[in-house]
């Protein structure tokens, strides 16, 4: 077990029970925190001169379906422009209530990143000013980066025309297409 | 009786620019609110080129993801390859031989030059300076030929492997590079004469698309856009990887945070990148280009066909994939447009559990409305041009 970094020690001293876990695997300092404490802890990471993580590098999520409980994890990567240190903040998010606080009050850049997580994982961000899909279209159903979203699922906005003599994906487990074909066979 | 002169009603007009517009070299849509020609508000819509990079990567083995990374930022694909390979190697806990690191650095920097040349050349030609645009594309073509000679392809190169490279440089690589750089420098000096003090160009670029230092940091901008505001942040200096800590180069900084500064930053970075390539070529060590580890790198064909162990290692890597221990890493590299980060999660086994790319130009497009607010409709073209949005990377 490697020695804990002074920053993680400082954080666990300050927030105690809100910090669930911490590690520095491969040199990436990581804290796992309660989702109730997200805004408070990240604000302190940003504004506390001892931490000074003033740059939000990335927001993403991971779906640990069947591997971990709770199912989702929101992942934040912060950077200090002064010392060039990085820290990763992970927040477990349960499946039945996929919701975390938005970081848009702290960084405007969180806006698009959180919209992408909402789009791909269906995790809601409380307090987000404009939580809409970003890469996909509004009519899209489901969240494609969830592990239970089928890879071959197609959701065309305009019905696809079957073209005779061209490539047809027979492996497709496309439920929509199958349903449509069934409906067509029925007189 | 003379009628009273009425005040002309000024109502904001809604205008949709895109998704396919000749001045936006990528499929993107701007929903604009205009007052006359002034942009009051801009809402950016992205995602037209979304192909599900993350989802596809989860279906492939670790090695099979490499061709997908080519297609992220396809004007500097080598940097994507290198970033992904470095992230997986960090997770594996292996380090590649020195020659491999040198070659990766050289190829990344050549790629960066082509990226900047594409961006600046296109931006110039969109403003009517088509000559300068063609000069830069000619310079890019010279480097593309070198890339093609080494990797076998121009854009979708898939040159880097986890733990090494596809193959070594061509025998006369150093000469070719020296020759090409001589011509590139000549062309750049011509472009400098054409553009840097050109009244029309400066009027269109200077004090347009201004973003302050604080706003740039607030939005998480990186690369030339952040550096044009004077923030000295370059991943190559901040968190050095490969051999960047052993090389001498400077990070060009701007002051105004406008399009002209972004342009100058990129042009100066081209010179710095060429210097890096020359330094690295001078000190290029001999030796193997791939790790000597049969769990990570495919064995030579001779071993595969003549020994049972070789065949077994080959079979294992092809059929099962490289076995990467469970864990997670984030590895940032300096891409052409800024910090290109790979966040990779492994649950063990031959396939990635999650591959996330931090796309620099997606994040820059998130701040686009801020850059263009209050400027004219025509200012969208140079501002968008200097962001260098690459659909493949922005929409993944």
Domain locations along chain A: 6-140, 150-187
Residues of chain B contacting A67 with CB distance shorter than 8 Å: 347
Residues of chain B contacting A25 with CB distance shorter than 8 Å: 327-329
A157 pLDDT above the threshold of 60: yes
The set of residues, in sequence order, having a beta carbon less than 8 Å from that of B382 and lying 6+ positions away, is: B123, B126, B127, B204, B205, B208, B209, B259
Cα–Cα distance list, B232 to A68, B64, B322 (Å): 40, 36, 38
Asked if residues B372 and B29 have their Cβ atoms less than 8 Å apart, the reply is: no
- Tell me the two tokens of residue A55: 């740059």
Helix (H) or strand (E) holding A36: none
- Supply the DSSP symbol for B194: H
- Quick one: CA torsion of B146, B147, B153, B159, rounded to 10 degrees? 140
Q: Is residue B262 part of a domain?
A: yes
Residue B274 pairs in a beta bridge with none
The set of residues, in sequence order, having a beta carbon less than 8 Å from that of B214 and lying 6+ positions away, is: none
Per-residue pLDDT, B269? 92
Q: Is residue B65 part of a domain?
A: yes
Which SS3 state, helix, strand or coil, does residue B89 take?
helix
CB contact under 8 Å between B91 and A26, yes or no, is yes
Q: Of the ranges A20-24, B22-26, B231-235, B389-393, which one carries the lowest mean pLDDT score?
A: B22-26
Interface test with B, best of A109, A116, A121 (most B CBs within 10 A): A109
Q: Is residue B97 part of a domain?
A: yes
Q: Of the ranges A24-28, B174-178, B209-213, B217-221, which one carries the lowest mean pLDDT score?
A: A24-28
CB contact under 8 Å between B329 and A81, yes or no, is no
Reported as a single tens digit per residue, the pLDDT across A66-109 is 888 888 999 999 999 888 888 899 999 998 888 899 999 989 98
Across the A:B interface, residue pairs with CB atoms under 8 Å apart total: 91
Q: Are strands A72-79 and A55-63 parallel, antiparallel or unpaired?
A: antiparallel
Q: Is the CB of A25 inside 8 Å of chain B's CB atoms?
A: yes
- Find the residue in B nearest to A63 (Cα): B354
Which CATH number applies to A6-140? 3.30.460.80
Q: Which of residues 92-131 of A touch B (CB under 8 A)?
A: 107-109, 111-113, 116, 120
Q: Give the distance from residue A61's alpha carbon to the nearest chain B alpha carbon, in angstroms.
A: 9
Reported as a single tens digit per residue, the pLDDT across B275-293 is 999 999 998 898 888 888 8
Q: Are strands B327-334 and B164-165 parallel, antiparallel or unpaired?
A: unpaired
Q: Which of A108, A135, A145 sits opposite B47 (nearest CB)?
A: A135
Q: Is residue B217 part of a domain?
A: yes
Q: Give the distance from residue A16's alpha carbon to the nearest chain B alpha carbon, in angstroms.
A: 24
Q: Is residue B222 part of a domain?
A: yes
CB contact under 8 Å between B339 and A57, yes or no, is yes
CB contact under 8 Å between A136 and B47, yes or no, is yes
What's the pTM? 0.86
Domain that holds residue B63: 44-395
Q: Give the distance from residue A28's alpha carbon to the nearest chain B alpha carbon, in angstroms.
A: 7
Q: Which CATH number goes with the domain that contains B264?
A: 1.10.645.10
CB contact under 8 Å between B217 and A54, yes or no, is yes
Residue A70 preceded by cis peptide, ω within 30: yes
Total structural domains in chain B? Answer: 1
Per-residue pLDDT, A1? 41
A186 pLDDT above the threshold of 70: no
Q: Which of A8, A79, A151 is nearest to B358 (CA)?
A: A79
């Amino acid at each position: 077990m490697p020695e804990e970094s002074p920053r993680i020690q400082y954080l666990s001293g300050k927030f105690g029970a809100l910090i669930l876990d911490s590690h520095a695997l491969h040199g990436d300092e990581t804290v796992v925190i309660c989702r109730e404490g997200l805004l408070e802890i990240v604000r302190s990471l940003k504004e506390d001169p001892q931490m000074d993580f003033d740059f939000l590098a990335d927001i993403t999520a991971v779906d640990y379906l069947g591997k971990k409980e709770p199912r989702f994890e929101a992942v934040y990567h912060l950077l200090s422009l002064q010392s060039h240190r990085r820290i990763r903040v992970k927040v477990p998010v349960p499946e039945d209530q996929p919701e975390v606080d938005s970081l848009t009050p702290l960084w405007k850049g969180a806006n698009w990143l959180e919209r992408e997580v909402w789009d791909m994982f269906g995790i809601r961000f409380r307090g987000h000013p404009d939580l809409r899909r970003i890469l996909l279209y509004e009519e899209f159903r489901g969240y494609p980066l969830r592990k239970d979203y089928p890879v071959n699922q197609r959701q065309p906005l305009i019905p696809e025309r079957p073209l005779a003599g061209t490539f047809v994906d027979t492996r497709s487990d496309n439920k929509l297409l199958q349903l449509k074909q069934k409906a067509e066979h029925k007189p | 009786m003379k009628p009273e002169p009425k005040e002309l009603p000024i109502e904001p007009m809604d205008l949709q620019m895109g998704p396919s517009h000749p001045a936006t070299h990528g499929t993107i849509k701007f929903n604009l609110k205009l007052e006359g020609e002034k942009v009051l508000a801009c809402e950016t819509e992205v995602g037209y080129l979304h192909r599900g990079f993350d989802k596809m990567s989860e279906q492939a083995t670790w090695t099979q993801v490499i061709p997908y990374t080519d297609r992220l930022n396809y004007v500097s694909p080598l940097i994507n390859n290198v970033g992904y390979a470095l992230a997986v190697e960090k997770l594996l806990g292996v380090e590649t031989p020195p020659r491999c690191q040198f070659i990766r650095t050289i190829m990344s920097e050549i790629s960066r030059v082509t990226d900047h040349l594409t961006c600046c050349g296109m931006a110039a030609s969109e403003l009517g300076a088509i000559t300068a645009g063609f000069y830069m594309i000619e310079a890019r073509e010279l480097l593309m030929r070198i890339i093609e000679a080494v990797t076998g392809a121009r854009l979708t190169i898939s040159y880097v492997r986890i733990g090494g490279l596809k193959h070594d440089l061509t025998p006369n690589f150093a000469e070719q590079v020296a020759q090409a750089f001589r011509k590139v420098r000549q062309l750049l000096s011509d472009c400098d004469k054409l553009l840097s003090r050109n009244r029309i160009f400066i009027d269109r670029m200077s004090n347009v698309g201004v973003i302050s230092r604080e706003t740039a940091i607030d939005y998480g901008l990186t690369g030339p856009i952040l550096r044009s505001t004077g923030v000295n942040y370059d991943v190559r200096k901040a968190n050095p990887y490969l051999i960047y800590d052993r090389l001498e180069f400077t990070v060009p900084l701007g002051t105004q945070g406008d399009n002209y500064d972004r342009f100058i930053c990129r042009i100066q970075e081209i010179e710095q990148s060429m210097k890096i390539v020359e330094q690295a070529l001078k000190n290029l060590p001999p030796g193997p280009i791939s790790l000597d580890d049969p769990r990570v790198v495919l064995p030579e064909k001779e071993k595969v066909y003549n020994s049972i162990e070789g065949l077994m290692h080959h079979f294992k890597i092809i059929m099962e994939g490289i076995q990467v221990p469970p864990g997670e890493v984030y590895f940032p590299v300096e891409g052409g447009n800024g910090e290109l980060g790979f966040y990779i999660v492994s649950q063990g086994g031959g396939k990635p559990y999650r591959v996330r790319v931090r796309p620099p130009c997606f994040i820059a497009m998130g701040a686009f409305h801020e850059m263009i607010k209050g400027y004219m409709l025509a200012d969208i073209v140079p501002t968008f041009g200097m962001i260098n949005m690459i659909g493949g990377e922005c929409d993944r």
